[in-house]
Amino acid sequence: MGLEEILKQQVKAAVKALYGIDADDKQIQLQKTRPEFEGNITLVVFPFVKLARKAPAQVAEEIGKAMTDSAIVGEPVIEKFNAVQGFLNMSIAPSFWIEQLEAIAANPQYGEQPDRNQLMMVEYSSPNTNKPLHLGHVRNNLLGSSIARIQEANGWKVVKTNIVNDRGIHICKSMLAWLKFGNGETPESSGKKGDHLIGDYYVRFDKEYRKQIAELMAGGMSEDDAKREAPLMKEAQAMLLKWEQGDKEVRELWAKMNSWVYAGFDETYKMMGVSFDKIYYESNTYLEGKKEVERGLQEGLFYRREDGSVWADLTGDGLDEKLLLRSDGTSVYMTQDIGTAKLRYQDYPIDKMVYVVGNEQEYHFKVLSLLLDKLGFPFGKELVHFSYGMVELPNGKMKSREGTVVDADDLMEQMIKDAKEISKDKVNTLPDITEAEANEIARKVGLGALKYFILKVDPRKNMLFNPEESIDFNGNTGPFIQYTYARIQSVLRKGRPTSSPSLIGRGVNSPDTLNDKEVALIQRLTDYPATVKQAGEEFSPAVLCNYAYALAQEFNSFYHDYSILNEADEQKKNLRLLLSAEVAKVLKHAMALLGIEMPARM
């Protein structure tokens, strides 16, 4: 049983004995004692003050006394206490802390919840195949894969899925521009990564398209009309129609260009360290979606306008009317998402479906949820849109078409380069290091810095990235935590406990056995399972970042103040070695949930 549960029970017994109060869990507020006071855990006694009809300080004093009285609480876990106003600061007995540490050491899966035998599908990444991945996608991928790992640690079976947006008007734009301006360029001929090559033509399309709009407007046309009437746009739309009709040439071109993009994406995913269990392609799911829309039309759920387009009227649900099929019969984003959802539930016994998609699409998912529900799918109402915030640049949002993006490949490469550069400046550069190992460390550290930088901010909030300022390697960063880990590994290479963990605590239970920093570390370690749980419930990798940072910081402080290997007292030395090893274990586990690798040296 964890410390909190034990304390809660004892508090219950205490207030029952003192005041006849049957306290519920909500009234028992335990928090970490602030450093300026003595103690480890603090009980807020205000909730009992009214019922006890006494002054807060007196109530705190009385509860404190009861908590140390074995006649009331059974075996007390607190050895002393002090009362400050309405706060009861309690000190836990060292023997209890040592038992906790031993229990942690004995559990290789420490922090993980038991299997709950339920399946969660997590959709993330979901790229368009008309451009390379940028920083916005990086946030999506890192959040998605981290959340998948976190939910696994919380006992879910997780299927990671990716719905590749491989068809649609945006792809046609790249294809068209390539046909018109490409001169047969291929990844081989140009040496460009496939996704980058295609992205260049997407940008090119937009450039030429704007030119045409400007010309038409100069000729006296309104902007809206010009956008519609521009020949390039008409050609792209015609191409999409041909694609849906299965035109051989268009399909072949499409397949070829997509294959270039996939090769490029695979490299990026690999470098980023993300993967999927099942990939869906919209080119395979949109027909299913169309079928469902047709069915809805027949059942009178949707309606057709004079021009042939199909709509859902959601005004009764407080939303607008939503297009489901264009007048030319081609499908839209929503159509495909309906089909994809249906197929997924056919393929897997999904208990919970989570879409990791930016908050700019909140409306879309509200509509999707409603539409699925109207179509009679029981999972419509259940879907979870994990809506995360945008990555903004100092001058606003990233726009692929306008070329104001931070490219994912470039960014990762730069981070690794920076990590390499920084390591060269270090005083303690590892003397016997090979070039290969140095590169491997730089990769872990560079990517660790990037991932932590992104994951440490609350996923729901927009975040700012300034390309002018390089991402830090000092302070509250991934490398800080990696460094702490590497230090511990270095110590452990030089010394191991000379007795088994279960024996370490024996006979060292005198009050001075544990110093403040050791207690703080053990206490922090005992928080870990609750932290993993919280990260899962809140879908927040940031919770784990904060935890890992606090743990690493406390370890560094301990490391600075106390010697481990040179400690003369064998018992204490063993205890510190064990404590260090457990800190390293938990740091590694937490960072693994974030997708951050730990170097054994750095």
Residues of span 530-589 touching RNA by CB under 7 A: 542-543, 546, 549, 553, 556-557, 559-566
| Count, residues near RNA per rule CB under 7 A | 93
- Give Dmax over CA atoms of the chain in angstroms: 95
DSSP letter at 426 equals -
The structure tokens listed for 141 are: 């991928």
Nearer to RNA, 158 or 531 (CB): 531
| Close Cβ partners of 347 (under 8 Å, ≥ 6 residues apart) | 278
Nearer to RNA, 17 or 438 (CB): 438
Q: Is 136 in the site for RNA (CB under 7 A)?
A: no
Q: Is 328 in the site for RNA (CB under 7 A)?
A: yes
User: Binders of RNA among 1-60, rule CB under 7 A?
Assistant: 26, 29, 31-34, 36-37, 42, 44, 46-47
Q: Which stretch binds RNA (CB under 7 A): 151-159, 210-218, 243-251, 452-460?
A: 452-460
Residue 7 CB, nearest approach to RNA (Å): 13
Helix axes of 408-425 and 248-272: crossing angle, nearest 10 degrees? 20
Residues 582 and 571: their CA atoms lie apart, in Å, by 17
Q: Which stretch binds RNA (CB under 7 A): 70-78, 116-124, 154-162, 453-461?
A: 453-461
Nearer to RNA, 477 or 513 (CB): 477
Nearer to RNA, 414 or 557 (CB): 557
Side-chain-side CA neighbours of 248 within 13 Å: the count stands at 0
Residues 210 and 232: their CA atoms lie apart, in Å, by 10
DSSP SS3 for 279 = strand
Q: What is the CA radius of gyration of the chain?
A: 30
User: Binders of RNA among 269-308, rule CB under 7 A?
Assistant: 305, 307
Residues 470 and 482: their CA atoms lie apart, in Å, by 19
Q: Is 119 in the site for RNA (CB under 7 A)?
A: no
43 within 8 A of 90, measured Cβ to Cβ: yes
- Show the site string, 473-512: x = touches RNA by CB under 7 A, - = not: xxxxx-xx--x--xx-xxx--x------------------
Nearer to RNA, 200 or 337 (CB): 337
User: Binders of RNA among 88-107, rule CB under 7 A?
Assistant: 89
Q: Which stretch binds RNA (CB under 7 A): 97-105, 179-187, 324-332, 340-348?
A: 324-332
The structure tokens listed for 59 are: 């109530």
Handedness of CA 102, 105, 108, 112 (dihedral sign): positive
Residues 269 and 471: their CA atoms lie apart, in Å, by 21
User: Binders of RNA among 407-446, rule CB under 7 A?
Assistant: 419, 422-423, 426-428, 430, 441, 445
Residue 119 CB, nearest approach to RNA (Å): 26
User: Binders of RNA among 202-261, rule CB under 7 A?
Assistant: none
Residues 98 and 579: their CA atoms lie apart, in Å, by 10
DSSP letter at 134 equals B
Handedness of CA 224, 226, 230, 234 (dihedral sign): positive
Nearer to RNA, 92 or 158 (CB): 92
Residue 32 CB, nearest approach to RNA (Å): 6
Q: Which stretch binds RNA (CB under 7 A): 95-103, 292-300, 371-379, 390-398?
A: 390-398
Q: Is 390 in the site for RNA (CB under 7 A)?
A: yes
Nearer to RNA, 313 or 328 (CB): 328
Q: Is 360 in the site for RNA (CB under 7 A)?
A: yes
Residues 366 and 186: their CA atoms lie apart, in Å, by 41
| Close Cβ partners of 383 (under 8 Å, ≥ 6 residues apart) | 341, 353, 354, 355, 365, 368, 369, 372
Q: Is 110 in the site for RNA (CB under 7 A)?
A: no
Q: Is 81 in the site for RNA (CB under 7 A)?
A: no
Q: Where do we find the tokens 């270039």?
A: 260
- Show the site string, 455-474: x = touches RNA by CB under 7 A, - = not: -xxx-xxxxx-x-----xxx
Residue 233 CB, nearest approach to RNA (Å): 8
Q: Which stretch binds RNA (CB under 7 A): 203-211, 320-328, 372-380, 403-411?
A: 320-328
Nearer to RNA, 272 or 579 (CB): 579
66-80 CB burial, b ≥16 within 10 A, e <16: bbbeeebbeebbbee
